[in-house]
Amino acid sequence: MLRIIVRRIFILIPMLLLLSMISFIIIQLPPGDYLSTYILRLESQGLVVDESEISRLEQRYGLGRPLYTQYFRWMRNFIVNGDLGRSFGSYGSSYDNKPVADIIAERLPATMIISIVSTIVVWAIAIPIGIYSATHQYSLTDYLSIFIGFIGLAIPNFLFAIIIMWIVFAQTGHAVTGLFSLEFKHAPWSIAKVIDMLKNVWVPVLVLATAGTAGLIRVMRANLLDELNKQYVVTARAKGLSERRLLWKYPVRIAFNPIFSTIGWLLPAMVGGEALVSIVLNLQTIGPVLLTAVLRQDMYLAGSIIMILSALTLIGTLISDIALVWLDPRIRYD
C-alpha cells in the first residue's frame, strides 16, 4: 500500500512539470503577446507609446527573451521563492503588477465557499434521492428524479443563472449580481456581511448544485440498481437479513465507489463550471480572472491558475485512488 502511494507520488512530479509547461504553451497560443495587445489598446485610445516606455515594460515583464527562458525564470522563481510572478493587469488596473499569489489568495475564499457549499448541497440532496430512486424503481419519485436529472443535464449552467436572475429580478426587482451589496463589498467580515452574502450566494449555489445533483442522482441510481440485482443480495435476503441492514451494509457502500473515484475532480470541475456562472453573476471568484487573463495573455496569472487547477486534478485523482483502495478491499493495485 505505502509502496503504491510513494510510486504514484514519484510519477506525479514529472506530470506536474509537464503540466506547467503545457499551461505555459497554451497561454502563448493566441497570436501576439500581452505587450503588443496593450500597446494596441493604448494606441486605439489615441495615446502615443514611445520606445523607452516599451523597452521599460519589456524589461519589467521580461518579455523580450525567448519563450523557454521566460518559462525557466518563472519556474525557478516559483520553486526557489514560491513566487508565481506578477499580473500584467489584465483584470482591471487594481491588479496591475500585483503578485499572482496575492490575486489567487484574494479570490480563493469566495471560490471555495461556493464550491464547498454547493458540493455539500449536491451530496445532501443527490445521495438520498439516488438511493430512494433505486430502491423504488419506476415509482413516481423515481420518474421525478429522472426528470430532474435530465433537466439539470440539458440546461447549461450559465443559461440557468441567467434564467434565475431574470425570474428573481422580474418578481422582486432585486438584482442578484455579485456576492455582496455595495456597502459590504470592502467591509471586513462581520455577521451583517455574512447575512448580506446569504442573500446572493444561493443563486450560484443553486445553479451549480442543480447540475451536480442531476449527474450524481443518475450515477447513484445506476450503480445501486446494478448492485441490487446481484446474487449476494438475494442470498443475504434469503438468509433473513433485514432490508435496511441489507441495503446499507453492502450495496450502498459499493455504489459509493464511483463517487469517491471522482472526488478529486470536484474542485477543478467546480472552478471550471463556475467560471461562466461567475461571469454571468459577476462574482469575485477565480473564474472571471482566468478568462480575462487567458484572453489578454496575462501569462503568469493565467499560467499559474491553469497549473494549480491541473495540479489539483492530479493530486485529487491520487487521493481518490487511495480512498478507493481503503474503502473497497477488493481493489488492489499491483
Interaction site with another protein (CB under 8 A): 15, 18-19, 22-23, 26-27, 29-31, 150-151, 153-156, 158-159, 162-163, 165-166, 169-170, 175, 268-269, 271-273, 275-276, 279-280, 290-291, 294-295, 302, 305-306, 309-310, 313-314, 317
CB 225 within 8 A of CB 159: no
**Smallest gap from residue 189 Cβ to another protein (A):** 29
Query: Which amino acid belongs to residue 225?
Result: L
Specify the 3-state DSSP secondary structure of 86. strand
By C-beta, is 2 or 154 nearer to another protein? 154
CB 35 within 8 A of CB 61: yes
What is each CA distance from 57 to 54, 175, 210, in whole angstroms? Answer: 5, 40, 46
What is each CA distance from 283 to 180, 200, 291, in whole angstroms? Answer: 9, 10, 13
By C-beta, is 16 or 254 nearer to another protein? 16
By C-beta, is 85 or 303 nearer to another protein? 303
**Smallest gap from residue 30 Cβ to another protein (A):** 4
**Smallest gap from residue 273 Cβ to another protein (A):** 8
Cα–Cα distance measured from residue 315 to residue 81, given in angstroms and rounded to the nearest whole number:
22
**Smallest gap from residue 245 Cβ to another protein (A):** 28
Cα–Cα distance measured from residue 314 to residue 123, given in angstroms and rounded to the nearest whole number:
22
**Smallest gap from residue 93 Cβ to another protein (A):** 22
Specify the 3-state DSSP secondary structure of 97. coil
What is each CA distance from 184 to 92, 104, 109, 188, in whole angstroms? Answer: 20, 21, 16, 8
**Smallest gap from residue 51 Cβ to another protein (A):** 28
DSSP designation for 188: P
At 99, phi and psi to the nearest 5?
-60, 135
**Smallest gap from residue 249 Cβ to another protein (A):** 26
By C-beta, is 131 or 290 nearer to another protein? 290
By C-beta, is 252 or 288 nearer to another protein? 288
By C-beta, is 179 or 252 nearer to another protein? 179
In the numeric block, the cell 454547493 is attached to 118
Closest by CA to 142, choosing from 202, 76, 222, 29, is 222
By C-beta, is 118 or 310 nearer to another protein? 310
